[in-house]
Amino acid sequence: MVRQICGVLVALSTVLLLFGCSPLIAEYSLDAYRNATTLKAEVAALVEKSGETYASHKGEAEELTTKIDAAYEFAAGIPNNTLSARQWQILRDPEGGLYGGFIRQWREKGKTSPFFRKEMKQQLNAAFDRIICLEVSKQRARSCASASTSAGFAVLKPAAGTLR
């Protein structure tokens, strides 16, 4: 009986040791960091162009959307990277208030107003700052409070009438 209890305790200890040593979050990825910083700049440039017709920038918008989809797939394919993948998913959601929603609304309305562009750029910059901060925090612990938090990752929708 004592041997059985000791055997169970050894087996339980081994299982706990194995699972206790596995990381809770993925390791830092220079590729993921580059994706986020590069796409942040490209998205900001595209938002500025949204004062012109969507049709005149359709190719650019589709190409950038593909890059963002690829960044999501890259993040989702890394083990223990659920948080990062979720951030990319929120960013690209066409029903949300970030990149996916911006593209959908620009396509539907044709052009955006100066106010909308300014607000959208701020929200998207904040979202990218959070993605970048999470990636950097994998390398060395740091608070993302210094990253822009006004938009965070709430699914924001522009106020009615802000698109023109």
* In-domain check, residue 62: yes
* In-domain check, residue 164: no
Q: What percent of the chain has pLDDT over 70?
A: 72
> In the predicted model, is pLDDT for residue 23 greater than 90?
no
- DSSP letters for the chain: -HHHHHHHHHHHHHHHHHHHTS-SSPPP-HHHHHHHHHHHHHHHHHHHHTTS-SGGGHHHHHHHHHHHHHHHHHHHTSTT-HHHHHHHHHHH-TTSSSHHHHHHHHHHHSS--HHHHHHHHHHHHHHHHHHHHHHHHHHS---GGGS--SSTT----PPTT---
Domain span at residue 116? 26-146
pTM: predicted TM-score of the whole model, two decimal places: 0.76
* In-domain check, residue 128: yes
pLDDT at residue 139, as a whole number: 84
Higher pLDDT, 24 or 157: 24
Lowest average pLDDT, out of 76-90, 98-112, 127-141, goes to: 127-141
* In-domain check, residue 2: no
> In the predicted model, is pLDDT for residue 20 greater than 70?
no
* In-domain check, residue 118: yes
Domain total in the chain: 1
Q: What is the pLDDT of residues 27-83, one digit of tens each?
A: 999 999 999 999 999 999 999 999 999 999 999 999 999 999 999 999 999 999 999
